[in-house]
Amino acid sequence: MGELTGIGGLEKALVEGEIAGLSAIGREAEALRLLPQRQRLQQFAHRLDRAFALRLELRTLAQANTVVCRCEDVTHYALQGCANWRQAKLHTRCGMGACQGRVCGSATEFLFGWENRSMRPPVFPSAVSTLATKP
């Protein structure tokens, strides 16, 4: 799925990680000084997103035999009878292959307008007290 706060590249991810780390250890003033840099990188990410957005007419190119989920070999035709992402997974196994919907999830969102709500939280959640403990 990309970066947790959206695709923005290595530099943005590093700055966001630094902001989070500094905030977690109580160095908020240093974290705040990085916000303008993060904002600049976020603006660049938005411009990239707009520049490379898929054109709506591309939706009409898919044919019945167009493979949408390559991991499970699910075609556009097989998905047409489904009302949403969950139903597609249950009836066609779309999104249940090796990529776990990372490829076909965005394709079905574009083609059918389905929102992929099957993202799972971390397997082993951490308590805030564990993260807040100073060494």
Average pLDDT of span 35-53:
90
The DSSP symbol for 56 reads G
Instruction: Indicate yes or no: pTM above 0.75.
Output: no
Q: What is the pLDDT of residue 1?
A: 36
Kindly state whether residues 45 and 75 are assigned to the same domain.
no
Kindly state whether residues 41 and 62 are assigned to the same domain.
no
C-alpha pair distances (Å), 18 with each of 13, 96, 128: 9, 34, 18
How do residues 64-101 score in pLDDT, each as one tens digit?
999 999 999 999 999 998 999 999 999 999 999 888 88
Kindly state whether residues 66 and 102 are assigned to the same domain.
yes
Does residue 123 lie within any of the structural domains?
no
Q: What is the pLDDT of residue 117?
A: 65
The one-letter amino acid at 24: A
What is the extent of the structural domain holding 75?
56-112
Confidence bin at 35 (pLDDT 50/70/90): very high
